[in-house]
Each structure stands twice: as structure tokens, then as C-alpha cells.
Amino acid sequence: MSEQALRETIRRVALEAKQAARRLAQASTEQKHAALKAMADSLRAARQEIASANAADVEAARQSRLPSAMVDRLILNEKRFEEMVASVEAVAALPDPVGEVIRKWKRPNGLSIEKVRVPLGVIGIIYESRPDVTSDCAALCLKSGNAVVLRGGAEAFQSNRAIATVLQRAISRAGLPAAAVSCLPTPERAGVDLMLQMDDAIDVIIPRGGEALIRKVVETSKIPVIKHAKGVCHVYVDDAADLAMAQRIAFNAKCQRPATCNAMETLLVHQRVAPQWLPPMVRQLQQAGVEIRGCERTRALVGGLTAATEGDWSAEYLDLILSVKIVDSLDEAIEHISRYGSAHSDAIVTTHHARAMRFLHEVDSACVYVNASTRFTDGFQFGLGAEIGISTDKLHARGPMGLEELTTYKYIVFGDGQLRE
């Protein structure tokens, strides 16, 4: 496609989404519910159509020798397909966040002010590989009254387009505008850059993916961005910890699902308990296949470990690798997290109340834990019912983002002739 044609195409998609957003903002809970049910039913009915598109993507990915982990994320097998449809049904069953009166008050001059929850408008989502993200995001945005413009990875282009086409037909049959959900109509990289310039049509960009993707989006976008960036999560084992509990928590935080952003990447241990606690902990982790990269003191305590470099302290491994550091105090632990962490999720294990409270208040992360695994940072685990991701930003939404975080508010003011004096 020529650059001019590409610009016009992307512009049309964005403006149609904006029109759709105006109608969606006025849609009733019942209308949105009907559309979501239709979306789930249509996905089930179009199973073969979607499977063929997905097979084409997977075949192309194999031929172009994509890493097998990426090919794996691309595959929409039977189980994943069912989970994808169930997830749309689950979103349908959630309460509608739109229209909630967040606060209401009256002024001395008689003005009555309501702060009311409303949709954001048009949400742009930029993501990689997994095609089930397409229908997840579509469902969450529609439920919260937003239109969505989706841009998945080029390698999942056929799958995403097939899913979006099915969803559009369903939405349209349910009486809402098909443009409530759209995919960029081309896998070209230039399409994203153009999309990120359309600040008169798109209200917010949510990038989900690796560091390079997110940095590029932040640098290019004229539209406000809510980053879903990396998680360099810590567990700090205090000298007053229940040591058996500390071992269970550290093991769970590292090994239960190491490829997630809320998995532990660095273990901090108070020097007083390190000699007793660390060697068996390291052995347990090694038996589970974890490679340990230790500070000097850790290596003096446990033989045969790789030395952690400066880069290890800020690395997000997303893998069975763990950096371990022995610290002299709670202060040193907090300093380390402040310096190297990514303000995502950090935990302390301790029985000492005052130290727990210091950690919880002084570690400036989206989620801080005492005596629990960092793996709980998740919209479902938090009870939000769903999540579009985990924000590592401080503005608008922090931590797990559910339906409420996909809304904003407006002030509705009722008067009877009030004038400003």
C-alpha cells in the first residue's frame, strides 16, 4: 500500500471507531450484554473459519523460522479457543461500570454536582503474538462502552482479522456499530506509527509487550499511553521471617509461572538468616531448574553459582533464572528495590509488624505484599473480574487494570439559573 493510501485507510478506521464510541457510550447495559453474548456465540460458530486463518499464520511463522516459543504462543488450539470464548462470556457477566455516580454533592448556591463514570472513548491496543488477546480486549472495551482499535503482531495477522471479522458481524447483528471493534487492516509496521499520530480520534494507547515495543510506542505516540512494561519483582526475606513460609513464598514467586511479569526476579535475604536459610532454598530452586546468579556473599555461602553482574539487578528474565543478594538491613533492601526495581510487585516476608509496615509504605510499587507471593498481582486474583493488563504507570491506572480503569468521569451539574458573581 502507498503511504498516502495507508494513511487514509488508518484514518478511516480511527474516525469510524470515534463515531462508534459515541454510540457505545449511550448503549444500555442490556444492549452491551446482548452484543457480548452474540460475540461468544459467533466465535463458537466460526470455529473452523478461525482455525483455518490460525493455521495459515502458524504455517507462515514456521516457514519464516520464528523462535518456537513465539510459534507456540501463536497457536489457537482447542483448549485455548474454548478459554477465549469463556472469557468473553465471563466479561458479559461482570457489572457495567458506566453510569456509576462516583460522588454527588450540593454547593451552597444550590448547584448539584455529580461525578459520573463514563467510557474513555477509543482505546488503541498494541500487542504481540497471542490471538486470544484480540477477543479479550474487544470484550473488555465493549463492556466498558469503549470502541477499540487493535494492532496485534504481524505474525498473527490472519488469526486476528478472522476473529475481529466474526466479532464485528456479531456486534452489528446485536444492533451496535461494527466499528466498535476493528483491527488495523494491514500488518505493515508503518500502520502503527500512523495510528499513534491520530490524537483527535484515539483517546488512549495501551501497549502490551516487550520493552522495545513499549519504548517505541512511548517515543512515537502523540496519544496518552498507559504502559504495561516490565516487572522486576523482589521478595525480601527479613531476619524475623517465618523461614518455612519464606521458602514456600520464594519458590512460588519464582517457579509457579516464571514467564509472567509478576514472577520474582531478585531474591533479597537478610544476612542474619542467610547462612541457615539460603543454601537449602538455592538447592530447591536448582532442583526445579532455576539458574542462580548470586552476589559475592551469596557465592561465598553456596558454591558453584554464577556471579550476578550489575545488569542482573535490573533484568526481567521471564525465565528460570534468579538473582540473589544478601543485604544487611531492611533499609538496604528498600534501597535496592528503589534503585533496581520496576515498581511492579514486591514482597516482604516477616513476622515483625513495624518492619512490614515500613516496607509496605516505603516501597513505591503498584503492589506491595507482606507474607504472600508476588504472583497475585492479577485482575482475576485481585477480584476485579477481568484485566486488560497490568499498568506500570502511575497516572490513571496502576497495577491490574479492570473495567473501571477503562473509564473516566465527567461532571454533570444541575442548576436553576445560577450565575458566577
Residues found near its own copies in the complex (CB under 8 A) = 22, 25-26, 105, 107, 111, 113, 118, 120-121, 203-204, 218-219, 222, 224-226, 242, 245, 248-249, 252, 256-257, 338, 360-362, 364-373, 375-377, 381-383, 393-396, 398-399, 408-421
305 neighbors 293 (Cβ within 8 angstroms): yes
Smallest distance from the beta carbon of 26 to its own copies, in angstroms? 7
User: Measuring CA to CA, how many Å separate 351 from each of 237, 244, 362?
Assistant: 10, 12, 18
Smallest distance from the beta carbon of 149 to its own copies, in angstroms? 16
Smallest distance from the beta carbon of 378 to its own copies, in angstroms? 8
| Residue whose grid cell is 451496535 | 176
What is the DSSP annotation of 147-208? EEEEE--GGGHHHHHHHHHHHHHHHHHTTS-GGGEEE-S---HHHHHHHTT-TTT--EEEEB
User: Measuring CA to CA, how many Å separate 216 from each of 151, 227, 240?
Assistant: 14, 11, 44
Smallest distance from the beta carbon of 316 to its own copies, in angstroms? 16
CB hemisphere CA count around 261 (13 angstroms): 24
Smallest distance from the beta carbon of 98 to its own copies, in angstroms? 10
User: Which residue, 195, 110, 106, is CA-closest to 150?
Assistant: 195
Rounded Cα distance, 144 and 96, in Å = 7
- For residue 238, the tally of other CB atoms under 10 A from its CB is 25
Smallest distance from the beta carbon of 88 to its own copies, in angstroms? 24
Nearer to its own copies, 163 or 201 (CB): 201
Task: Collect all residues with Cβ–Cβ distance below 8 Å to 256 and sequence separation of at least 6.
Answer: 263, 373, 375
Nearer to its own copies, 21 or 61 (CB): 21
Beta bridge partners of 325: 268
Nearer to its own copies, 259 or 300 (CB): 259
Nearer to its own copies, 78 or 310 (CB): 310
Nearer to its own copies, 59 or 199 (CB): 199
Smallest distance from the beta carbon of 51 to its own copies, in angstroms? 31
Nearer to its own copies, 51 or 240 (CB): 240
Nearer to its own copies, 218 or 318 (CB): 218
Rounded Cα distance, 155 and 138, in Å = 19
User: Which residue, 151, 157, 240, is CA-closest to 194?
Assistant: 151
Q: What angle do CA 31, 33, 36 make, to 5 degrees?
A: 110
Nearer to its own copies, 275 or 415 (CB): 415
Smallest distance from the beta carbon of 157 to its own copies, in angstroms? 29
Smallest distance from the beta carbon of 122 to its own copies, in angstroms? 10
Nearer to its own copies, 293 or 375 (CB): 375
Rounded Cα distance, 133 and 230, in Å = 18
Nearer to its own copies, 131 or 402 (CB): 402
- For residue 215, the tally of other CB atoms under 10 A from its CB is 13
Q: Indicate the DSSP class of residue 395.
A: S
| Phi, then psi, of 39 in degrees rounded to 5 | -60, -45
